[in-house]
C-alpha cells in the first residue's frame, strides 16, 4: 500500500519504481492486482493516472491483506467475515465426536486464534465480543446455534487462571485490549 499526494510527478515516480522493481528482482508486477484509490479526487484525474500506471481504479472500501479498509469498524457488517469464519469452522467439527478435553483444546488453540488478526488492528464492539464468546460457550457446553443446552460450568470459571484450578480459556475482550 502506497500513499501519496495528487500530482503527476508522484505517478511517474511510482511507475518508475514498479519498472525498477521488475528489472532488479526479475519478478513481474501484476497490473491487474494494482488498484488506484483516490480520496476527494475527480474521476477524470483517477482515470488519467490509472492509464499511466496501467492499473484499475478501486473504491475506498476494499480488502487489503484480508482486512476491510475504509469501512466503519463499529458496524456489525464490518465483523461479518470474522463471525462467518468462526461459524464455518464450528460447523465443520462434529460436536458428538469430540471429548470435552478435545473441545477445550480446539477452543484454546484453534478458535481463539481465528480472531487474532482482526483484533490486533481493530477494537471490537462489545456485541461482537459477546457473539464470539457465545460461540465458544455453546461449543464447549455441547450446544449449537440450533439447540441450546444448559451450561453446567460458569464461563468465568472456564476463563480463570490455571493457578485457581480452572481451564484458562482466553477472554476475547481482554485479549483485544492487550493487542490493541
66: cell is 484480508
All cell numbers assigned to 116: 487474532
More reliable by pLDDT, 92 or 149: 92
Which of 9-18, 39-48, 105-114 is modeled with the greatest confidence?
A: 9-18
pTM, two decimal places: 0.67
Q: What is the pLDDT of residue 48?
A: 93
**Does position 17 have pLDDT exceeding 60, yes or no?**
yes
pLDDT for 160:
66
Q: Which of 75-84, 107-116, 150-159 comes out lowest in average pLDDT?
A: 150-159
Q: How confident is the model at residue 143, as a pLDDT?
A: 55
CB of 55 closer than 8 Å to CB of 79: no
Are 167 and 105 in contact, with CB atoms under 8 Å apart?
A: no
Q: What is the Rg, in whole angstroms, of the alpha carbon atoms belonging to the chain?
A: 23
Amino acid at each position: 500500500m502506497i500513499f501519496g499526494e495528487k500530482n503527476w510527478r508522484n505517478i511517474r515516480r511510482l511507475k518508475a519504481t514498479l519498472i525498477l522493481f521488475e528489472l532488479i528482482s526479475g519478478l513481474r508486477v501484476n497490473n491487474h492486482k494494482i488498484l488506484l484509490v483516490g480520496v476527494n479526487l475527480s474521476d477524470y484525474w483517477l482515470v488519467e493516472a490509472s492509464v499511466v500506471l496501467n492499473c484499475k481504479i478501486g473504491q475506498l472500501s476494499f480488502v487489503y491483506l484480508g482486512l476491510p479498509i475504509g469501512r466503519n469498524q463499529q458496524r456489525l457488517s464490518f465483523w461479518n467475515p470474522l463471525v462467518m469464519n468462526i461459524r464455518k469452522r464450528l460447523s465443520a467439527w462434529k460436536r458428538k465426536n469430540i471429548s470435552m478435553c478435545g473441545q477445550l483444546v480446539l477452543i484454546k488453540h484453534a478458535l481463539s486464534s481465528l480472531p487474532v488478526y482482526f483484533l490486533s488492528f481493530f477494537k471490537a464492539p462489545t456485541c461482537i465480543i459477546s457473539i464470539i464468546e457465545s460461540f465458544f460457550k455453546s461449543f464447549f457446553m455441547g450446544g449449537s446455534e440450533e439447540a441450546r443446552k444448559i451450561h453446567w460450568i460458569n464461563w468465568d470459571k472456564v476463563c480463570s487462571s490455571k493457578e485457581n484450578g480452572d481451564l484458562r480459556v482466553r477472554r476475547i475482550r481482554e485479549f483485544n485490549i492487550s493487542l490493541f
